Amino acid sequence: MYIIEDIFSILKNKGFIQHRGEQQPLQPSKESTNYCKFHQRYGHLLHECRSFRALANEYIKKGFLTGYKKVEELPSKSMQALFP
């Protein structure tokens, strides 16, 4: 499990993340595996989510998530292709 998944679980269990109850139906495409738990939408994965990363970093900065360092930006897709 990714560290970002751990952070999501901690924030959700502490009640910092409230789900709105909206969920998209399964998308019959190759993007259907790209589901963001934070937005409850298809299109990107949780570890790619800039909004969640910003929220997690804010909670880390405020001291709500002790033992975690700032969640860094992922390299661009072109860089990921060069350095898999």
3 state SS for the chain:
CCHHHHHHHHHHHCCCCCCCCCCCCCCCCHHHHCEECCCCEECCCHHHCHHHHHHHHHHHHCCCCCCCCCCCCCCCHHHHHHCC
Where do the domains of the chain lie?
3-16+28-82
pLDDT of residue 32: 66
Check whether 2 has a pLDDT greater than 80: no
Encode pLDDT of 18-73 as tens digits: 876 666 665 555 556 788 889 888 888 998 999 999 999 999 999 988 888 888 77
pTM: 0.71
pLDDT at 81: 45
What pLDDT does 84 receive? 41
